[in-house]
């Protein structure tokens, strides 16, 4: 292998992974090598430029910790996380979207119809819908794992004023697949931009905003778990999500509801804002 040149090096590196027992690993590494080499050839990458790239990775490592991964954020702002979701969405069911860094295990259980808004500031709303399979049949006892930012654009992990259980829950759907809860409308917020990702965004004249959204992980036996988000169609950043998570099928437009009985039952003003969104779960193989 002492005679590799710029034409033969790619095949030599790909061959060096031939011994990997897992065929999928072999396929992924071979493709990654071909694309990385293709990228260097296409851009005629200089040693100084590649050093700057490695420096970016070093700085990303230094700023990352338990609750912040600059590597995930890099994948997000390059649209790679979203592309992987879009590829997986091709299997049917509701489209997938960003998990983000603020999901926490063990959210408190909330009964269907429960109150999540509690004493949070912001515009109260009723959120409801059903969990269905791809044939349109209700999925009873599906679990919704939900989290959102407060009206100040912060998740509980970012805000010492918030209780750690604030604005998150797990809920099991009823026999007819129904779920509902009251909450407050979240606000747009920025992804962290005080590290190398922020520098890259600034160098490109890009902003760090995400449109306001709800996060859901919906899971049920016999179905693929679904990680997704629900967005507000009238959000000022709906066409400029810094992490490319918005899909047309995940947009809702809150509607005014004048049902006095429903308002009284949920402690909502009259009229109140309502968002209705149904989830569709794709069947798991086997
Ligand atoms: C979020 O939606 O929580 C998020 C997603 C990607 C990067 C940062 C935050
Ligand atoms: Fe989020």
Cα-to-centroid distance, 199 and ligand 2 (Å): 21
pLDDT of residue 3: 84
Cα-to-centroid distance, 37 and ligand 2 (Å): 34
83 and 40 part of one domain: no
> Each residue of 132-191: pLDDT tens digit?
999 999 999 999 999 999 999 999 999 999 999 999 999 999 999 999 999 999 999 999
The whole domain housing 244 covers 77-281
Sites in the chain below the pLDDT cut of 70: 1
Q: Whose CA is nearest to atom 1 of ligand 1?
A: 100
- The answer to whether residue 26 sits within a structural domain is yes
88 and 185 part of one domain: yes
216 and 102 part of one domain: yes
SS3 label, residue 101: coil
- The answer to whether residue 21 sits within a structural domain is yes
| Residue 277: partners with Cβ closer than 8 Å, 6 or more residues away | 127, 129, 230, 252
166 and 84 part of one domain: yes
pLDDT of residue 247: 97
SS3 label, residue 190: strand
Residue 209 belongs to what H/E stretch?
Answer: strand 209-210
pLDDT of residue 60: 97
- The answer to whether residue 220 sits within a structural domain is yes
> Residue 24 and residue 31: Cα distance in Å, rounded?
11
- The answer to whether residue 71 sits within a structural domain is no
**pTM greater than the 0.85 cutoff:** yes
Ligand nearest to the CA of 186: 2
Residues in contact with ligand 1 by the CB-under-6-Å rule are 73, 76, 98, 100-102, 191, 210, 243
pLDDT of residue 91: 76
- The answer to whether residue 128 sits within a structural domain is yes
CATH number reported for the structural domain that contains residue 137 in this entry: 2.60.130.10
In whole angstroms, how far apart are CA 87 and each of 22, 56, 74, 84, 239?
Answer: 22, 28, 19, 5, 21
SS3 label, residue 202: helix
* Nearest-atom index, ligand 1, CA of 102: 3
- The answer to whether residue 59 sits within a structural domain is no
23 and 119 part of one domain: no
pLDDT of residue 92: 81
204 and 249 part of one domain: yes
- DSSP structural state of residue 138: B
- The answer to whether residue 68 sits within a structural domain is no
Give the chain's domain count: 2
pLDDT of residue 43: 98
Cα-to-centroid distance, 110 and ligand 1 (Å): 24
Q: Whose CA is nearest to atom 5 of ligand 1?
A: 100
151 and 101 part of one domain: yes
Known catalytic residues are 155, 189, 210, 213, 215
Cα-to-centroid distance, 271 and ligand 1 (Å): 32
- The answer to whether residue 72 sits within a structural domain is no
105 and 207 part of one domain: yes
89 and 32 part of one domain: no
CB atoms within 10 A of CB 237: 19
pLDDT of residue 124: 97
> Residue 2 and residue 213: Cα distance in Å, rounded?
55
Ligand nearest to the CA of 243: 1
């Amino acid at each position: 292998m002492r005679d590799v040149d710029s034409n033969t090096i790619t095949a030599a590196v790909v061959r060096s992974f031939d011994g990997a027992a897992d065929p999928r690993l072999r396929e992924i590494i071979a493709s990654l090598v071909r694309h990385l080499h293709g990228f260097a050839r296409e851009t005629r990458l200089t040693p100084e430029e590649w050093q700057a790239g490695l420096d970016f990775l070093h700085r990303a490592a230094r700023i990352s910790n338990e609750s912040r991964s600059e590597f995930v954020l890099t994948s997000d702002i390059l649209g790679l996380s979203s592309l992987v979701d879009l590829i997986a969405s091709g299997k049917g069911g509701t489209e997938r979207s960003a998990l983000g860094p603020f999901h926490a295990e063990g959210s408190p259980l909330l009964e269907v119809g429960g109150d999540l808004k509690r004493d949070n500031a912001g515009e109260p709303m009723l959120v409801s819908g059903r969990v269905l399979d791809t044939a349109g049949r209700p999925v009873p006892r599906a679990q919704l794992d939900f989290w959102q930012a407060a009206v100040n654009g912060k998740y509980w992990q970012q805000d010492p004023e918030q209780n750690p259980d604030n604005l998150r829950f797990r809920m099991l759907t009823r026999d007819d697949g129904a779920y509902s809860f009251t909450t407050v409308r979240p606000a747009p917020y920025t992804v962290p931009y005080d590290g190398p990702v922020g520098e890259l965004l600034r160098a490109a004249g890009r902003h760090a905003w995400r449109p306001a959204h709800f996060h859901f992980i919906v899971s049920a036996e016999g179905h693929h778990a679904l990680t997704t988000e629900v967005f507000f169609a009238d959000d000022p950043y709906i066409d400029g999500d810094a992490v490319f998570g918005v899909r047309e099928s995940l947009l809702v437009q809150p509607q005014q509801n004048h049902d006095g009985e429903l308002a009284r039952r949920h402690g909502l003003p009259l009229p109140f804002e309502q968002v209705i969104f149904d989830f569709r779960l794709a069947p798991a193989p086997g």
